[in-house]
């Protein structure tokens, strides 16, 4: 709240006895201004300690050079990697990045979307919350032609660019790997099926099973929110089954961890008695005992790609490209939990 008033383009104009419009053009590198004048203006701006009032410019141009990011939870390795990638590209293109977390809460997600909309972000990048089933709050953006890119948890019904990992083949590879290592009665702890990623992982799982002629036992399929405690409940239920699994494909590393810890307490050995594969390659998965085999998702690269697409879209001002769905490759990382 400095009392000393900021210098404006008018101050520069007055000092040099020229018009503010010329100053504005010079400072924006408009080639229509002569080199002499430009240099003069730049020097004077420097001397007077001029700082552009971006708010005034934003207001006038209706652009904010800001990207909004909505995601479930910042404090999570995959998501913070994505943010890191977004920020990297945004920064290189002169965009600011505003981040808000929905905590997987639908109301909050809606409010964030509205705030971003009111704040006139130039575009948004979204990964939806677990509870999100309606997309009205996001439709606003696509209707108003505000560029929108989804990543990871996408809404198929909204026309927009989408960056996803190949969840299907991740699920397929994970399951195939379990089968290769002797898994026959394979269970799956999956996420909520309103999210496409979990549908796809499940599909991959099922296809790998049937490819090998293995039956998919419905009682071995559990879907929940994939938290630590959800995982614990799931593994408990699986082990109470008359048909106990000899392998489990978990839709994230957290539930894989829950399973490992629960089984350890019960004296059941991983991988000797039960094989386990997780998903996401959380940092802890490498150092747990046994270390967790998992599917790597290239978070940073996804963020870069999402920001890249979004900024291209923003710059193309309405001449929207056909919407793309970019599928990033996943990679199976084989560790101890799945190899006998």
Do 205 and 176 contact (CB within 8 A), yes or no?
no
Per-state percent for the chain, helix, strand, coil, to nearest 5: 45, 15, 40
Q: How far is the CB of 124 from DNA (least distance, A)?
A: 21
Burial of 312 (0-12, 13-18, 19+ CB in 10 A): middle
Kindly tell me the burial class for residue 233, based on how many C-beta atoms sit within 10 Å of its own C-beta (0-12, 13-18, 19 or more): middle
How many residues appear in the chain? 340
β-sheet bridge partners, residue 70: 100, 126
Distance in Å, CB of 117 to DNA, minimum:
13
Residue among 85, 129, 124 nearest 107 (CA): 129
One character per residue 151-190, x = contact with its own copies (rule: CB under 8 A)? ----------------------------------------
Please give the size of the binding site for its own copies, defined by CB under 8 A: 56
Binding at 324: pick from DNA, its own copies, none (beta carbon under 5-8 Å per type): none
Say if residues 22 and 41 touch (Cβ distance below 8 Å).
Answer: yes
The correct pick among 84, 134, 210, 229 for binding its own copies (CB under 8 A) is 84
> How near is the Cβ of 19 to DNA at its closest, in Å?
3
Which segments of 93-135 does DSSP mark as H helices, in order?
106-118
Q: Which of 105, 115, 212, 227 binds its own copies (CB under 8 A)?
A: 115
Nearer to its own copies, 120 or 244 (CB): 120
Query: What is d(CA 155, CA 45) in angstroms, rounded to the nearest whole number?
Result: 48
> CB under 5 to 8 A by kind: which of its own copies, DNA, none does 210 bind?
none
Residue selected from 15, 37, 81, 194 as contacting DNA according to rule CB under 7 A:
37
Q: What are phi and psi of 329, to 5 degrees?
A: -70, 145
Q: How far is the CB of 144 from DNA (least distance, A)?
A: 13
Out of DNA, its own copies, none, which partner does residue 33 contact, by CB within 5 to 8 A per kind? DNA
Residue of 1, 4, 29, 36 interacting with DNA (CB under 7 A): 36
The residue ranges that bind DNA (CB under 7 A) are 5-6, 8-10, 17-22, 24-25, 27-28, 31-37, 50, 52-53, 56-57, 59-61
């Amino acid at each position: 709240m400095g009392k000393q008033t900021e210098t404006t383009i008018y101050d520069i104009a007055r000092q040099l006895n020229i018009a503010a419009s010329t100053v504005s053009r010079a400072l924006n590198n408009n080639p229509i201004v002569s080199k002499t004048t430009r240099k003069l203006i730049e020097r004077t701006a420097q001397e007077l300690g001029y700082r552009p009032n971006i708010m005034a410019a934003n207001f006038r141009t209706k652009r904010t050079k800001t990207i909004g990011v909505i995601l479930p939870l910042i404090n999570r390795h995959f998501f913070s990697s994505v943010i890191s990638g977004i920020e990297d590209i945004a920064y290189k293109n002169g965009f600011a990045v505003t981040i808000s977390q929905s905590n997987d809460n639908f109301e909050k997600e809606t409010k964030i979307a509205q705030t971003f909309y009111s704040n006139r972000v130039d575009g948004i990048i979204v990964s939806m919350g677990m509870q999100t089933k309606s997309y009205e709050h996001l439709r606003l953006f696509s209707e108003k032609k505000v560029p929108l890119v989804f990543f990871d948890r996408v809404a198929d019904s909204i026309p927009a660019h989408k960056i996803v990992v190949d969840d299907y083949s991740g699920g397929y590879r994970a399951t195939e790997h379990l089968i290769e290592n002797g898994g026959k009665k394979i269970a799956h702890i999956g996420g909520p099926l309103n999210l496409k990623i979990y549908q796809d992982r499940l599909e991959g799982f099922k296809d790998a099973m049937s490819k090998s002629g293995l039956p998919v036992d419905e009682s071995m399929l559990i879907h929940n929110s994939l938290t630590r405690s959800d995982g614990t409940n799931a593994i408990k239920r699986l082990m109470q089954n008359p048909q106990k699994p000899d392998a489990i494909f978990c839709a994230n590393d957290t539930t894989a961890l829950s399973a490992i810890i629960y089984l350890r307490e019960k004296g059941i050995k991983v991988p000797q008695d039960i094989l386990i594969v997780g998903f996401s390659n959380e940092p802890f998965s490498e150092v747990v005992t046994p270390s967790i085999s998992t599917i790597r998702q290239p978070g940073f690269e996804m963020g870069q790609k999402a920001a890249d697409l979004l900024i291209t879209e923003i710059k193309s001002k309405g001449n929207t490209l056909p919407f793309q769905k970019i599928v990033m490759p996943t990679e199976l990382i084989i560790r101890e939990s799945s190899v006998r």
